[in-house]
Amino acid sequence: MTATAAEAPLPRAWRTARITPLAEVLAPGRIAATAVRLGLQVFLVTCLWRALYANTHSSAGLVKEQAVSYAVLAALAVRIRGLDRAAGRDMMIQHIQYGTIVYWFLRPVPPQRYYLYRALGDQAYGFAWAGAAYVLCRLTGVLEPPASAGAGAAFAVSLLLGQIVLYYLTLLIDLLCFWTIQNNSALLILLFAQNLLSGAYAPLWFFPGWFVAMSAVLPFQSTLNVPLSLYIGRIPLSDLPAQLAVQAVWVLLLALLTRLLWRRAAARVVSQGG
């Protein structure tokens, strides 16, 4: 194998991953709208949680600084996967409806890898926004630093695993299109369940015990509640190995399931003509 052949996959991956982010960067209106929307979200959740703690120092085991930091981080984390691919007509459901999904299976790049490259590009773009907003929130005092240096490192590792879990959950819903044609309702249900059961709306400790127990056996809290809880110190570092193990198990199970569904989906795609 020549050096050129060995280096070919990397540029191909880069060209594929940057498609949607590049469309965003080349549209100043979208950049401005994203900045305004994210700024308003951070401002509103900060005002809300400060108001809720106006007459109390601690609630559900959280002091005001922890609650505000959790809420702000949740708003930033949701931004990581907030890129709109529908405008570029490159969602899986759109390709299935238009009949162009067949090209995913005719390209030199396998459809699984193409989907992964696009997701990596989208998430890298989202991480850039979230990272820039995080620095700004820290500089302005809106966001507290992590509970400790170890908590900050644990947060970073757990957040990465959580994003992988969320990637596979989204892929799982997208793959349903091969059997249902439509998945709009399923995507809305996933979005609502993700925000509710992951703690994006509010930390899970504010919910009843039965709700917390139910969320513990589902993968959603691994995507957000666990990393944010590590950041603010609600989950001690002594519990880190167990929490990371749970996240890793969900990654493995969802990876195996989606791999099986990709194979079944490929068998349903038929190409006629040349």
Over residues 13-51, the pLDDT tens digits come to 888 888 888 888 888 888 898 899 999 999 999 999 999
What's the CA gap between 118 and 170, in Å, rounded?
13
Name the 3-class secondary structure at 62.
strand
Q: Where is 59: in which H helix or E strand?
A: strand 58-59
pLDDT, residue 231, reads 96
Q: What is the DSSP letter of 250?
A: H
Are the C-beta atoms of 72 and 50 separated by less than 8 Å?
Answer: no
Average pLDDT, the chain: 87
Domain spans, the chain:
8-268
Closest CA to 78 of 228, 231, 195, 230: 195
What would the mean pLDDT of 98-114 be, rounded to a whole number? 83
274 pLDDT more than 50? no
Name the 3-class secondary structure at 121.
helix
**Cα 126 versus chain centre, distance:** 9
Closest CA to 132 of 80, 67, 82: 80
What's the CA gap between 174 and 93, in Å, rounded?
7
| Per-residue model confidence as pLDDT tens digits over 131-149 | 999 999 999 999 999 999 9
What's the CA gap between 85 and 189, in Å, rounded?
18
pTM for this prediction? 0.88
Are the C-beta atoms of 147 and 231 separated by less than 8 Å?
Answer: yes
Mention every residue, 6+ apart, whose C-beta is less than 8 A from residue 255.
Answer: 168
Closest CA to 13 of 115, 96, 125: 115
What's the CA gap between 145 and 152, in Å, rounded?
8
Q: Cβ–Cβ contacts within 10 Å for residue 128, how many?
A: 13
**Cα 60 versus chain centre, distance:** 26
Are the C-beta atoms of 231 and 152 separated by less than 8 Å?
Answer: yes
What angle separates helix 9-17 from helix 111-139, to the nearest 10 degrees?
Answer: 60
What's the CA gap between 101 and 167, in Å, rounded?
20
| Per-residue model confidence as pLDDT tens digits over 210-231 | 999 999 899 999 999 999 999 9
